[in-house]
Chain A
Amino acid sequence: MENNLLSLIIFAPLAGAAINWFVGRRVRDERFVGVVACGAVAISTLVAFYLAFKPDGALHSEAPLLDHIWTWLQVGTFHADFALAMDRLSGTYALFVTFVGLLIHVFAVGYMHGEQGFYRFFAFLNLFMFAMLTLVLADNFVLMFVGWEGVGLCSYLLIGYYFDRKEAGDAAKKAFITNRIGDWGFVLGIMLTFFVTGSVSFFANPAAGEVTHTALSFFQTRPVEPFTAGAIIAGGATSIAVLLFIGAAGKSAQIPLYVWLPDAMAGPTPVSALIHAATMVTAGVYMIVRCSEIFVHAPTAMFIVAVIGAATALFAATIGLAQNDIKKVLAYSTISQLGYMFLACGVGAFIAAIFHVITHAFFKALLFLGSGSVIHGMHHEQDMRRMGGLRKYMPITFATMAIGWLAISGVPIFAGFFSKDEILWRTWSAPAFGLPSTTFSKLLWAIGAITAFLTAVYMTRMMVMTFWGQERFRDAQAHKQQEPDEHHGPVEPHESPWLMTVPLIVLAVLSTVGGFIGVPYALSSAFTNRNINVLEHTLEPVVATVPPGIHAAEPTSLPGEGAHAPENAPAPVPEPVAHEHSSEEVTAERMLAGVSVLIGLLGIGVGWYLFKNRPLLQMPRLLENKYYVDEIYDAALIRPIESGSREGLWKIFDVGVIDGLLHSIGEAVTEAGRLARYLQAGFVRGYAAIILLGALILIGLFAYLGFQNITPP
């Protein structure tokens, strides 16, 4: 149904950005800029909440809310308009994106206090909200790509906010370029989608003209593609899915395109919290869940997604164990958690992935903002080796970060426990759809479990190094007297102002209770008979489900729009989790939940034991240097490209061929002129020779003509 309020959600931040850019630059009043920026996002939040929760709002209705703003591309029946659509999935996303964004905006007003480019920061931040919401609320691939690029651009602008620092500029470029590589895959995926299905829309929109099918519904009646390597290049659903995943890997920092995210910590901390923890990096997950219909027809692609997700999770967790910069630890933690989300997508647990996105937004934003508070209170000191014992000085920060710490480690009732446990359970019990066998899923579960253990360990290390123990920053004072930076005297850590602590508190509350929207039946059945998994009920109709078994399946009678029903091949059996819960399943799930709790507590214990008394314990050099991946990329890719461009394309082609062509044309003209000079040099003998030449030509002509009239003797 048409609803014109939707456009307000995206245009309010855009207006805020414009006002801050043009007017805020003149006014230069922090209050004005802050109020405009936060107010714009607040408007978006309110409208989003209203549209989602009203009686026939997005979260309750079957059909999405649509808003066709203007016709952008239209050729025959092909539409790619500037049109928004809020269905249950994008509504859920819009809710937490706007709300967490609002909290981070408020925090940033306090954090960026005193900065010269205050107005610039908030203009870009609002622009980012505009782009992100466009991405989430787009009703077709092309508009989503516009938002995709927009968030990439804003990421570049914001990472490079401190443009006078070289590493900030380099990090911004690295982020943008790595994203671009992913975008290549994404664009190819969009093109292939259009080529295969004839449409790029997600929703059939009767108001804009009858569309016989959308890009997603095209696949609903198609059979599942085979699980072979050849399917990747066959040009069907698997190819599309792999290409889309390349785009998601670039945006959401998976192997091999994750290298930009740790460097992006050079930007201000609110940027890291908003863009690189809560929203932009989850855009890849959103896109995959949105295209779940395509993915459930491409088991090979799902296999790739699951494997890369699991590998990234483990890989990043090992690196995070050895980092000394508080923000780098959180960055690698983000990459690792994103790996979890992709693992969930890969085994078909799309709703679990979204659940983890939401809870991760809460506790990761909390952790980042808390680290921002710590950094602010330590006068921009980021190295954990020079912190310690801060819990006396920053009690609120400490308390909220502790909640975030427990959430990410998977301690029960905090949000992270429910979502992470859901993912691990789904991995363990995954059907052999996108996987070679069911034992493979146990292997993936094991990787996920080890990662959970490591997560708890390194988070504990981070907390212990920062908040407990000896106050190492006092010793560091003596060394720092000579450095000409913002230290005006002995550094005394202090708690942050209320502008910064209130968002922390709100996020801490959300991290505590946020998990209850998705309590699985197996756990809630211990207390009540009803299935209180609100999230699952909400998202189930819009997300596709995976048929169990590779090729063998029976026709289904599963209600709901997202069900897969192949025509000729036997259809899958109904998912037991959705409607039937066999007692073996429930028991198995409860046991795994217990195992997850044990892993989390074990990790905390190990971390506490290892690092409480020896916070400066040296971690393996290989991990600390992040497996030298950046150096490998530099040597294997960047240097050859650079030298190839410089020597080959520039020196040989541009200077040699193109410039050489121009020079040689010029020189040819000069040489011809030099030769022609002799004609007018005044040398009579030369003139005589030329006259003779002309005469010879004429004689020859007449002889030739005359010869033709003579009969041979």
Chain B
Amino acid sequence: MLTLLFILFAGMAIGCGLAVVAQRNPLYSAISLVGVFISLACLYVMLAAPFIAAVQVIVYAGAIMVLVVFVIMLLNVEQEERGRNRLKFLVPTAVVLAAVLIAEVAFILFSVTNPTPAVSNIGLSSSIGTQLFTRYLLPFEITSILLLMAIVGAMTLARRGGLLSNEARLIPGAQQLPRSLVDPRAAPDDLRLVETDSTVEAGHLLGIDQRNTPKD
């Protein structure tokens, strides 16, 4: 019985994993990854770790993948990149290396004896909670600091700073701006000028909030 379940969930996990790698559309890859997470959660339950299973579904499938899907939608990515693939040789290289890895792991796994599975109750929420708040309190606290760091980092990255600071102002008059300030895809040494007709338009182009411009 358990074997059957294992095979089922394992098959699902591997199938969805292959789908993640094989799909061209990143959105489909994201959905397949959710499938992997769900099947892994089921396996965790089989391994007597219900708390971890629940946390897996909540955090991974519910938070991280949502975030990823948000980003995919935001950036409007729909297909695999169109550019010329300059590193085509990496595909066979990756396959070969993967095969070697599988071989090594198989070698290792065949050399060891298996311990007997036993029923345990270490995966219950109460036991995890007990351990987490007494014996392993330090890692717990450091993890919270880590999350703080992540928040700060994410906020810093999310600012639309660009190349100009927020305090930048435009002096009224006709402007001539180098291309790299306006067009992020231009080369840094592209010095063709961008002509604008007014300060307001230049402000739009640069992303400077003209309402802060002092009126003189």
Contact = CB atoms under 8 A, between A and B. Distances in A.
Nearest to B112: A710
Contacts of B101: 692, 696, 699
Contacts, number: 32
Interface string A680-695: 0001011001001100
A699 B105 CA distance: 9
Contacts of A689: 90, 93-94, 97
Contact of B90 (A686, A696, A710, A713): A686
- Which range holds the interface residue count of chain B? 10 to 19
Contacts of B113: 713
A692 B113 CA distance: 27
B76 interface: no
B104 A696 contact: yes
B97 A686 contact: no
A693 B87 CA distance: 17
A514 to B, nearest CB: 95
Interface in B88-138: 90, 93-94, 97, 100-101, 104, 107-108, 111-113
A686 B86 CA distance: 11
B70 to A, nearest CB: 23
A686 B90 CA distance: 7
A703 B86 CA distance: 35
A160 to B, nearest CB: 66
Contact of A693 (B86, B97, B107, B111): B97
B105 to A, nearest CB: 8
Contacts of A683: 86-87
B87 A685 contact: yes
A710 B104 CA distance: 16
Contact of A692 (B97, B107, B108): B97
A713 B113 CA distance: 8
Contact of B104 (A693, A703, A713): A703
A707 interface: yes
A230 interface: no
Interface string B62-96: 00000000000000000000000011001001100
A713 B112 CA distance: 8
A700 interface: yes
Q: Is the interface of A mostly helix, strand, loop or mixed?
A: helix
Nearest to A699: B104
A136 B87 CA distance: 83
A703 B107 contact: yes
Contacts of B107: 703
Contacts of B112: 710
A693 B101 CA distance: 9
A56 B104 CA distance: 105
Interface in A663-713: 683, 685-686, 689, 692-693, 696, 699-700, 703, 706-707, 710, 713
B108 A703 contact: yes
- Which range holds the interface residue count of chain A? 10 to 19
Contacts of A707: 111
A683 to B, nearest CB: 6
Interface in B159-175: none
A707 B104 CA distance: 12
Nearest to B113: A713
A387 to B, nearest CB: 88
A713 B111 CA distance: 8
A461 to B, nearest CB: 89
A454 to B, nearest CB: 86
Contacts of B97: 689, 692-693, 696
Contacts of A706: 108, 111
Contacts of A693: 97
Contact of A710 (B93, B94, B111): B111
A713 B100 CA distance: 24
A700 B105 CA distance: 9
A686 B94 CA distance: 10
A699 B98 CA distance: 13
Contacts of B90: 685-686, 689
Interface string A448-469: 0000000000000000000000
Interface in B37-70: none
B23 to A, nearest CB: 18
Interface in A236-260: none
Contacts of A685: 87, 90
A706 B108 CA distance: 9
Nearest to A713: B113
Nearest to B93: A689
Nearest to B105: A699
B111 A700 contact: no
B160 to A, nearest CB: 25
Contacts of A699: 101, 104
Contacts of B108: 703, 706
B87 A686 contact: yes
B86 to A, nearest CB: 8
B135 to A, nearest CB: 29
B144 to A, nearest CB: 30
A225 B95 CA distance: 84
A598 to B, nearest CB: 100
Interface in A463-481: none
A6 B62 CA distance: 118
Contacts of A700: 104
Interface in A288-309: none
A692 B112 CA distance: 24
A515 B125 CA distance: 140
Contacts of B86: 683
A420 to B, nearest CB: 92
A51 B97 CA distance: 98
A692 B100 CA distance: 10
Contacts of B94: 689, 692
A635 B112 CA distance: 83
B85 to A, nearest CB: 10
20 contacts: A683-B86, A683-B87, A689-B93, A689-B94, A689-B97, A692-B94, A692-B97, A692-B101, A693-B97, A696-B104, A699-B104, A700-B104, A703-B104, A703-B107, A703-B108, A703-B111, A706-B108, A710-B111, A710-B112, A713-B111
Interface of B: 86-87, 90, 93-94, 97, 100-101, 104, 107-108, 111-113
Interface of A: 683, 685-686, 689, 692-693, 696, 699-700, 703, 706-707, 710, 713
Given A689-B90, A699-B101, 10 more contacts: A686-B87, A689-B93, A689-B97, A696-B97, A699-B104, A703-B104, A703-B108, A703-B111, A706-B111, A710-B112
